[in-house]
Structure formats: C-alpha cells, structure tokens
Amino acid sequence: MNLDHPIFRQQRLTSRILITGGEGMLGSDAAQVAHELANFEVWAPGHTELDVTDPDAVKRAVDWVSSGPSPGFVFHCAALVNVEACAANVEQARRTIVDGARHVALACQATGTRVIYPQSFLIFGNANELIDDDTVPEPLSVYGKLKLEAEGLFLTHTLKPLIIRMAGFFGGGKRDKNFVGRIIPVLAEAIEEGRQSFTVGDRIWQPTWTVDLARNAIALALADKHGTYQMASKGEASFYEVAQVIVESLGWSDKLSLRKVEASEVEGTMNGQRPQRAVFVSKRLESEGFDLQRPWRDALCDYLKDKFFDKYRAGASHNE
C-alpha cells in the first residue's frame, strides 16, 4: 500500500476517534492505523467495555469524541459478524447490528460527530457482472439485510456519513474469524493427521487485508470525504486460490495438495446464504485518487509473514 499519499503528511489538529468493536479484526487494525498514521486520540473498546445495544453507554462514548479539541469520528465496527449465528438468532443480530447502529447514529446526530461505517459485501446477491458503485444491493442473508438496514440509519441521521462497502477481508491474526483465519488451523490439522489432499471451494471473492482497509478508510475520513465508496484489493480469487497461496507461503507444498470443488460441496451445512461471486469495481475511489489498495496476493503474502504464523510454518507444530 502506498503510504505516501499526501493526506498522511498533512499536519492536523489532534482529534478523537471512537472505534466500536475495537477488539475485532477490523477494529483492532483501525486503532493501530489511527495511532500510527493520523494524529488521533484513540479509544477502541471491545464489547465488554462498550455494548452498543446500550444507548446510554453509546451516548457517553460519543460525548467523549465530541468533547475533543477538534471534530472527531466514530468508526463503527461493532457488529455480530457470524453469518450463521445471525440466521439462527435474528433478534439478537438485530439488536446488535440495527439497534446498535441506531444508537450510534442518533448520538452522532446530536453532537454533529462524523461516522465511518464499514459495510459488508454481503449486502449484494449473486452477481455475474462486476459490482460497481451503482449496483443495487440485494442481500441474500439475514446478516446482509440487517447490515443494509443499519447503513440506511447512518445515511438518514448523521452528518456527512462515510460508508465504506468493503470486500471480504482477512487480518487480525488470532482474531481472524473469516476464511483465512479458519482455514489455516484446519489445513495444519490435516497435515498432522497425515492427509495427502484437502478440498476447497470455488466461491469467488476479493481477499482484502484489514490493515489496508483501515488505512484507506481513515485516509478518506481525513480528506473530509463522505457518501458511499467501494473498497477492495486488486483482482479476484477463489477460496481454492487463496488456500493455495497459504500452503505455499507456510511451506506446506510438499505436505498437502489441494483439490478445487464446487462451493456447494463444502458449504452445504451453512445457514447463511452467500453469493457465489462478489467482485467490486471501485470507480469512485479510483476517480478521486484515493484507491490505496494493492493486489490481493501481495497483501496476503505480507500478512502471512507476521510472527503469529510462525507456529504454522513447515516443521513447526501449531500447538506450540
């Protein structure tokens, strides 16, 4: 990622940023980025410290932002992100995703605080064509429907909201609950069991690092951008291709071979419907000179160099 963008070199007054869901994949990386690249005073509480279903707690948190020396932001990452869990417990999902968004939106409306809202690619349905800025959302899952409803609350109630529709992502090491985080220990276990091959589905996505997403989103916020943007790594990949890069990067190529199969063969038990292909075209981001994303393979290989993955590298036990 190009970190020489002029927006990161500008001198700014110190302001505050509240990152809800600050212990999650995106939230934790957003907190780190806000510290490193911008002159923010950061508060990134996890669920136990800030429950977004509590309107009074949310109001106090947003009041902290608005009492800073200059206008600040709320980066609202808190959500119930497990698609299957949302389908199994719709009311709990609604309380967290929709009611939580409403509490944040109304508190920000009352104080004039700006919101950055990371939106999921799962608001879109099965699309044979690329998803551009004008594509109408058609969510397939309960999770996607609730996230789209939450987006509407920010667009309706807050001042110049920044909505970032993000591709499927990886990141956060032990916090990663998405495909990359789930598949690595499973592949390691298969190797320990002496299995020679492993099947991986062919669903298509744009694996994007949470660090890159956080940097790009905060760059937009610092530039006073608002409205809706799409954000994704360059290129597209099947889950099989991503798994292949993981196997190569961790030195497992001589230990395990992968076999590509239709997604339905390995996702048949899922209780949350997903699109077979979800690929963004980030036209607005590109036209305004703020597309800081890079090829997915480069980002994934950089991510897998983290010391967190040392325990998985060839010759190491994942139980160490």
Q: What is the DSSP letter of 182?
A: H
Q: Give 185-230 as a DSSP string.
A: HHHHHHHHTT-SEEEEE--EE--EEHHHHHHHHHHHHHTT--EEEE
∠ CA 150-156-160, nearest 5°, is: 100
| Euclidean distance between CA atoms 201 and 239, whole angstroms | 6
CA dihedral 139, 145, 151, 156 (to 10 degrees): 110
Q: Where are the domains of the chain?
A: 6-169+209-234+280-294, 173-202+238-274+306-312
Question: What architecture does CATH give domain 6-169+209-234+280-294?
Answer: 3-Layer(aba) Sandwich (3.40)
What gap in Å lies between CA 172 and CA 175, rounded to an integer? 5
Global pTM reads: 0.92
Token digits of residue 223: 């530039």
The tens place of each residue's pLDDT in the chain, 320 residues long, gives 455 667 766 656 678 999 999 999 999 999 999 988 877 899 999 999 999 999 999 999 999 999 998 889 999 999 998 999 999 999 999 999 999 999 999 999 999 999 999 999 999 987 667 999 999 999 999 999 999 999 999 999 999 999 999 999 999 999 998 999 999 999 999 999 999 999 999 889 999 999 999 999 999 999 999 999 999 999 999 999 999 999 999 999 999 999 999 877 766 544 457 778 889 999 999 999 999 999 999 999 999 999 999 999 975 555 54
Place of tokens 């591709």: 167
Which residue has 């927006």 as its token pair? 7
**233 near 216, Cβ under 8 Å?**
no
For residue 208, how many C-alpha atoms fall within 13 Å in the half-sphere facing its CB? 31
